[in-house]
């Protein structure tokens, strides 16, 4: 299972109005570290389905969202809960480190 695609058009409904925390992966096709963590993000989406929403933002296609979040390097993971940004981590990280970003919120 992979995350949903987050765009400027659906950001409000999928992220800000989500009843569960939302982990967003800011990535790009050409980014090596993004490719490394992509399968891990997909695993997390499957394992925590129902208690965590996982979304992906392609920074090349959604530059406005990347700019809005101050994304200067990718991959960057951003966590929202109740419409508020609550955590952020840049760079490739092991699965346990990614889970630690949200495990106390679900």
Residue 17, Cα to own-chain centre: how many angstroms? 15
Minimal CA–CA distance to 57: which of 25, 103, 21, 32?
A: 25
Report CA torsion sign: 37, 42, 44, 50: positive
Strand partners, 41: none
> Domains in the chain and their CATH numbers?
4-100 (3.40.30.10)
List per-residue pLDDT tens for the chain, 106 residues long.
468 999 999 999 999 999 999 999 999 999 999 999 999 999 999 999 999 999 999 999 999 999 999 999 999 999 999 999 999 999 999 999 999 999 999 8
Contacts of 46 (CB under 8 A, 6+ apart): 1
| Token pair recorded at residue 77 | 């993971």
N- to C-terminal Cα distance for the chain?
A: 19
Active site residues: 31, 34
Please tell me whether the peptide bond between 45 and the residue prior to it is cis, using omega within 30 degrees of 0. no
Return the pLDDT at 86: 96
């Amino acid at each position: 299972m992979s995350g949903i695609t987050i765009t400027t058009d659906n950001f409000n409904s999928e992220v800000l109005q989500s009843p569960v925390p939302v982990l967003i992966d800011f990535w790009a096709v050409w980014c090596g570290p993004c490719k490394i963590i992509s399968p891990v993000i997909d695993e997390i989406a499957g394992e925590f389905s129902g208690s965590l929403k996982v979304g992906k933002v392609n920074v090349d296609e959604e530059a406005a969202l990347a700019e809005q979040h101050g994304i200067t390097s990718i991959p960057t993971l951003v966590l929202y809960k109740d419409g508020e940004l609550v955590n952020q981590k840049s760079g490739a990280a092991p699965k346990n480190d990614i889970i630690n970003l949200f495990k106390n919120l679900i």
